[in-house]
Structure 1
Amino acid sequence: MLHILKNSFLLSAFFTIHFGFCQSIPHLQKKGNKTQLIVNDKPFLIRGGELGNSSATSMESMEPIWSKLTDMNLNTVLTPIYWELIEPQEGKFDFALVDDLILRARKENLKLVFLWFGSWKNSMSSHAPEWVKLNQKKYPRVKDDQNKSHEILTPFSENNLQADLNAFKNLMAHIKAFDQNEQTVIMIQVENEIGMLPTARDYHTLANEAFQKPVPNELIQYLEKSKQNLVPEFLEIWKKNGFKTKGNWEEIFGKGLHTDEIFMAWYFSKFTNHVAKAGKNIYPIPMFVNAALNAPEKKPGQYPSAGPLPHLMDVWKAAGNSIDFLAPDFYNPSFKQWNDLFTRQGDPLFIPEHKFDETAPFKGLYAIGHYEAIGFSPFSIESVEDAKKEPLGKIYNLIQQLTPVIEANKGRGKIDGVLLDKENQLQIIKMGDYEFTFKHDYTLNWSDGAKAAVWPMASAIIIEIAQNEFYISGSGIVVTFKPLKANVNAGILKTDQGIFENGKWKTIRHFNGDQTHQGRHLRISVGDYEIQKLKLYCYE
């Protein structure tokens, strides 16, 4: 899935030849068994926030927002770029708003991830320009099974593809010319929450013709080559119909909504890969797509069918490699379950959109710890009243300090995270020579709030930095430990609370006595946000 250049020498040479400068543009690279985002030739961990859909439609609307972003310790803003605004007339482009966003982001020391609101935004084609919307004959829409048109451009139209592709190429050419040296724009999301509604597939004449044609050889070859590694839900569909390799969509995958969805996923992905490839041919920074998560009780068409979802990820991957990864948008409480699904084939995790609720900061820290994600971003980031008081800013401050340590240890099995609440009070992590038991702070019977009906979410990241030495950071946790080796005990040699200044650790307080329960545990109370450096030892 990942289209990553692994050889740094070749990468540097490529960009020197093709772009005329030695510094490589933003790109992804493997480190151990994980993936890093590289910006300005350094690992970059996104402390993000996504703007509401209409907040970036003018610089006047953005003016009161910038200070909120920096007050919450963001380093990256995810902002839409609207097709209707940059190409109001066919072939005539206006990038003034794009330039203003880039220039102001630089002034605020922020990076940008542009969200291309092109053909599709939350399934619909609401951000297509007037000249597209008003010419349905040239730019056709999907039709449902009652032959009714919807405001969704069909992916089966070459005219639709070329119009989107041309706009995106011009956008990428402009970003390259305006920003490649500064690298303010570090990634692109191609389209937004692609999916088919209100039926599982398109019934436009062009779609019906494609549905009767043989399944493309490109997909069949991928299935045969990747048979042992396909996601189990998709493998089961193919298996149930006899692992056929010749025939149309229903002959290979059977008749039903599941086949309608697979069919649409292929054509949505082909369309999006064409757009991404055209943009990358001009300026190949990382590009991804995001998914609106489906509810298990809903059928295809009742949710945005055929989007870049885990049960369809093989179809999306088979259709091209110009998309670097698939990303989940979270308005679903099953955080661990969905992230496990998105990462089960070894793909990187980036969460471009999460409901900006009281759980978001702690889930962000957990994602960066447990999944070693390349970033996290709550949605409608500007909606807060007092940004300086937000828990997100306090968690992002911890992540900011720890980023060099995180990136230095990424992909080495030396980082993990926990996410706790009243229903999930305990989590065990084995790291180095020890087993760590993380519990929610309220499991201590003397803690304020321990008897509350609902406990606030708590989370932490743990990083092994040397034998017997660890950083543990977060909020609302109590940690005990024991050796993995039998017949010995573990004790605390030192527990220090501190901060990083200019990348160097500075001890603020040395904890002992009551702060460590006389050497029994490490604790960061609910409402506190700390980094502690822990050194353990073993004794008989």
Structure 2
Amino acid sequence: MRKHLLTLSLCLALTTINAQDIPHFIKQGSATQMIVDNKPMLLLAGETGNSSVSSVEDIETIFPKLKRIGLNTALVPAYWDLIEAEEGKFDFSLIDKTITEARRHDMKVVFLWFGAWKNSMSCYAPLWFKSDYKKYPRCYTETGKPLEIASPFSENVFNADSKAFVRFIEHIKSIDEKENTVIMIQVENEIGMLESARDHSKTANDLFYSAVPDELIMYLKKNNKTLHPWLKEKWQKAGGKTEGTWEEVFGKDIFTDEIFMAWQYAAYVEKMIQKGREVYNLPMYVNAAMNSRNRKPGEYPSAGPLAHLIDIWKCAAPSIDMLAPDLYDNGFVDWVAQYKLHNNPLFIPEIRLEPNDGVRAFYVFGQHDAIGFSPFSIEDAPDDGNYKLTKAYAKLDELMPLITRHQGKEQMKGILFDQMNKEKNIEWDGITLSCKHFFTLPWDARATDGSVWPEGGGLIIKLNKLEYIVAGSGIVIEFKYPDELKGFIQKKLGEDGFIAAGGDTTDKEKWYSEKRIGIGSVDEVSIDNEGNMKYLRRLNGDQDHQGRHVRIGVDDFSILHVKLYEYK
């Protein structure tokens, strides 16, 4: 009997070890980290265009380029219409080829399930599904217009979608469980209603005028203090009721229509994830098209996994690992802040491909402990080694051991500047970090000749009170005690860095501080796989303006090791 118990214990232990080998998430302080091959990983990623990997030849062409651009992870569609072109017959040749090429180029893969919905529409559902609208019904507008959007209320729609999804997950497990090439799955793509804030089919209307589910009412009451401010205000303005129809609980408007529809979409995705994880327990997330440009529900893909609807999605679909924003609008800093929440880690699966992406990646890893960053249509990026994203990813790959070591511990900050937002003070451990865009210095003609400033940004890691890592591009940082800034007069500098002629020397500062912060040394360094620094060169001369600041030019990406000291 004892022998059998020991054997059982050993089997359980091995099962636990094997389960840990599967990519998964862990918490470190306030951060969520993705563990791949038993160590934390930052996804330095890119998403291919929607149709860019729809043939074996495309996949063979694209992956060498993705490697040259500097990716460690590719986000790649999995097309339902090509996987199951004929009902019940499955072809995974594109999936196999993607995994093979990723392994060949030492990359990981996140597959995007283009199933029942892609950008709201059912455009990647197979023809046999789309043409049989009686069996696989559509959503309808209030006027009765049918939409090219499969109904989330239909069991037939769910059964067809989930059957193919499960077969897809089974196949991944069968060929990749040991290698862990596939690290995560996106379930559907930019779910949401267009033209109407909700479905107005008979089934949808019957549910809309029925009672709000008990699970949601209980969630609202239990999480009242931490609800998203938008949802909390809407609920309370409607009277804060704990029973009734959707309109009775949330009020009568199109935003209530959106809340109702979000519940249905999220419940659908929850069932999809449960079906998939019964087979293979990979991380799974959903992505959202933004409610931007003052558009109302139905004008954007309403009811998707948007920040203001996060509580609806979290309640109806607790198995989702992340609600992830697709970012194509201005206001990057504000958008990412909406999605790094106490109940949602930040992952950016899509962002417009542009040169500023490099510094933006630095910012979200430093400021928001991001899991990953992924420009869209990544194959269109130059792959000559000089593209800014390539340079940024190379430095972030170096920094990965240090970043993952310090995530969630209040030891990292991110900074990001443009021509309108040029500077920011950071108060940290009794020291003020005066951070600015590189072009606030007078030494580069592009700062004043009418050129559009490239964004400057980076991350700062505090090793101790007087020792920092500063990395990124296009930034300047001064270190001061707060009292040094009292009575401080900003003097205009000439292009040589000295005070410009014209009377500034007559302005008198008042001195309040007992001591000052000085820059002891600035060294450019590289980082090895264990997170250890290797000295490259000392930058204590013109490169730090003789100890006045730390800076990295807009054309460079560097890692600097800064040591400070005190004097009086």
Task: State TM-score, norm by structure 1.
Answer: 0.95
1:536 corresponds to: 564
User: Does the 8 Å contact 1:16/1:22 carry over to 2?
Assistant: no
Provide the C-alpha distance between the structure 2 equivalents of 1:383 and 1:259, rounded to a whole number of angstroms.
Answer: 40
Provide the C-alpha distance between the structure 1 equivalents of 2:355 and 2:289, rounded to a whole number of angstroms.
Answer: 21
Which of residues 329, 333, 347 in structure 2 aligns to 1:332?
329
Provide the C-alpha distance between the structure 2 equivalents of 1:227 and 1:152, rounded to a whole number of angstroms.
Answer: 34
- 1:18 to partner: Cα distance: 5.0
Provide the C-alpha distance between the structure 1 equivalents of 2:40 and 2:205, rounded to a whole number of angstroms.
Answer: 46
Pairing 1:442-457 to 2, within 5 Å after superposition: 442-453=439-450, 454-457=452-455
1:158 corresponds to: 155
User: Does the 8 Å contact 1:169/1:278 carry over to 2?
Assistant: yes
User: Does the 8 Å contact 1:483/1:538 carry over to 2?
Assistant: no
Pairing 1:172-211 to 2, within 5 Å after superposition: 172-211=169-208
- 1:16 to partner: Cα distance: 5.6
Pairing 1:102-117 to 2, within 5 Å after superposition: 102-117=99-114
- 1:296 to partner: Cα distance: 4.7
- 1:216 to partner: Cα distance: 0.7
Distance 1:22 1:233, change over 3 A: closer
Provide the C-alpha distance between the structure 1 equivalents of 2:157 and 2:328, rounded to a whole number of angstroms.
Answer: 30
Provide the C-alpha distance between the structure 1 equivalents of 2:566 and 2:356, rounded to a whole number of angstroms.
Answer: 36
Pairing 1:77-476 to 2, within 5 Å after superposition: 77-453=74-450, 454-476=452-474
Pairing 1:64-79 to 2, within 5 Å after superposition: 64-79=61-76
Provide the C-alpha distance between the structure 2 equivalents of 1:95 and 1:104, rounded to a whole number of angstroms.
Answer: 14
User: Does the 8 Å contact 1:28/1:36 carry over to 2?
Assistant: yes
Provide the C-alpha distance between the structure 2 equivalents of 1:117 and 1:50, rounded to a whole number of angstroms.
Answer: 13
- 1:239 to partner: Cα distance: 0.5
Per-residue CA deviation, residues 273-305 of structure 1 (Å, 9 max, x unaligned), is 110111112111111100100125211111111
Provide the C-alpha distance between the structure 2 equivalents of 1:346 and 1:459, rounded to a whole number of angstroms.
Answer: 26
- 1:58 to partner: Cα distance: 1.2
CA RMSD in angstroms comes to 1.7
Per-residue CA deviation, residues 53-100 of structure 1 (Å, 9 max, x unaligned), is 001111201222222211121100000001111111222211111111
2:498 corresponds to: none
Provide the C-alpha distance between the structure 2 equivalents of 1:44 and 1:437, rounded to a whole number of angstroms.
Answer: 31
User: Does the 8 Å contact 1:353/1:379 carry over to 2?
Assistant: yes
- 1:14 to partner: Cα distance: 10
- 1:104 to partner: Cα distance: 1.0
User: Does the 8 Å contact 2:355/2:387 carry over to 1?
Assistant: no
Which of residues 505, 519, 530 in structure 2 aligns to 1:492?
519
One-letter code aligned to 1:494:
S
One-letter code aligned to 2:515:
V
- SS of residue in 2 equivalent to 1:229: coil
User: Does the 8 Å contact 2:401/2:529 carry over to 1?
Assistant: no
- SS of residue in 1 equivalent to 2:415: strand
Provide the C-alpha distance between the structure 2 equivalents of 1:499 and 1:286, rounded to a whole number of angstroms.
Answer: 32
1:515 corresponds to: 543
Aligned length: 529
- SS of residue in 2 equivalent to 1:227: coil
Per-residue CA deviation, residues 1-20 of structure 1 (Å, 9 max, x unaligned), is xxxxxxxxxxx999866588
One-letter code aligned to 2:467:
E
Provide the C-alpha distance between the structure 2 equivalents of 1:218 and 1:145, rounded to a whole number of angstroms.
Answer: 28
Provide the C-alpha distance between the structure 1 equivalents of 2:11 and 2:281, rounded to a whole number of angstroms.
Answer: 11
Distance 1:75 1:130, change over 3 A: same
User: Does the 8 Å contact 1:432/1:468 carry over to 2?
Assistant: no
Per-residue CA deviation, residues 440-494 of structure 1 (Å, 9 max, x unaligned), is 1111112231104321111111111234211101111111001358522011111
User: Does the 8 Å contact 2:434/2:478 carry over to 1?
Assistant: yes
Distance 1:18 1:275, change over 3 A: farther
One-letter code aligned to 1:483:
Y
Which of residues 554, 561, 564 in structure 2 aligns to 1:526?
554
Provide the C-alpha distance between the structure 2 equivalents of 1:90 and 1:36, rounded to a whole number of angstroms.
Answer: 39
- 1:342 to partner: Cα distance: 1.2
Provide the C-alpha distance between the structure 1 equivalents of 2:96 and 2:84, rounded to a whole number of angstroms.
Answer: 15
User: Does the 8 Å contact 2:416/2:458 carry over to 1?
Assistant: yes
User: Does the 8 Å contact 1:280/1:322 carry over to 2?
Assistant: no
- SS of residue in 2 equivalent to 1:159: helix
User: Does the 8 Å contact 2:287/2:349 carry over to 1?
Assistant: yes
User: Does the 8 Å contact 1:431/1:464 carry over to 2?
Assistant: no
Aligned-pair identity (%) = 47
Provide the C-alpha distance between the structure 2 equivalents of 1:333 and 1:134, rounded to a whole number of angstroms.
Answer: 39
Per-residue CA deviation, residues 363-393 of structure 1 (Å, 9 max, x unaligned), is 1111111111011000000012444221000
- SS of residue in 1 equivalent to 2:338: helix
Distance 1:509 1:329, change over 3 A: same
1:34 and 2:62 correspond: no
1:478 corresponds to: 476
Provide the C-alpha distance between the structure 1 equivalents of 2:551 and 2:102, rounded to a whole number of angstroms.
Answer: 38
Provide the C-alpha distance between the structure 2 equivalents of 1:212 and 1:539, rounded to a whole number of angstroms.
Answer: 71
One-letter code aligned to 1:372:
D
2:503 corresponds to: none
Provide the C-alpha distance between the structure 2 equivalents of 1:392 and 1:362, rounded to a whole number of angstroms.
Answer: 8
- SS of residue in 2 equivalent to 1:356: coil
User: Does the 8 Å contact 1:354/1:377 carry over to 2?
Assistant: yes
Provide the C-alpha distance between the structure 2 equivalents of 1:169 and 1:378, rounded to a whole number of angstroms.
Answer: 28
- SS of residue in 2 equivalent to 1:497: strand
Provide the C-alpha distance between the structure 1 equivalents of 2:264 and 2:324, rounded to a whole number of angstroms.
Answer: 19
- 1:346 to partner: Cα distance: 4.2
Provide the C-alpha distance between the structure 2 equivalents of 1:122 and 1:15, rounded to a whole number of angstroms.
Answer: 43
One-letter code aligned to 1:457:
E
Distance 1:405 1:52, change over 3 A: same
Provide the C-alpha distance between the structure 1 equivalents of 2:447 and 2:465, rounded to a whole number of angstroms.
Answer: 35
- SS of residue in 1 equivalent to 2:166: helix
1:7 corresponds to: none
- SS of residue in 2 equivalent to 1:347: coil
User: Does the 8 Å contact 1:294/1:303 carry over to 2?
Assistant: yes
Task: State TM-score, norm by structure 2.
Answer: 0.90
User: Does the 8 Å contact 1:433/1:468 carry over to 2?
Assistant: no
- SS of residue in 2 equivalent to 1:507: strand
Please identify the structure whose Cα radius of gyration is greater: 2
More off after superposition, 357-366 vs 305-314: 357-366
Distance 1:323 1:277, change over 3 A: same
Provide the C-alpha distance between the structure 2 equivalents of 1:109 and 1:283, rounded to a whole number of angstroms.
Answer: 22
User: Does the 8 Å contact 1:516/1:522 carry over to 2?
Assistant: yes
Gaps of 5+ in 2: 1-8, 484-512
- SS of residue in 2 equivalent to 1:499: strand
Provide the C-alpha distance between the structure 2 equivalents of 1:514 and 1:149, rounded to a whole number of angstroms.
Answer: 67
User: Does the 8 Å contact 1:15/1:22 carry over to 2?
Assistant: no
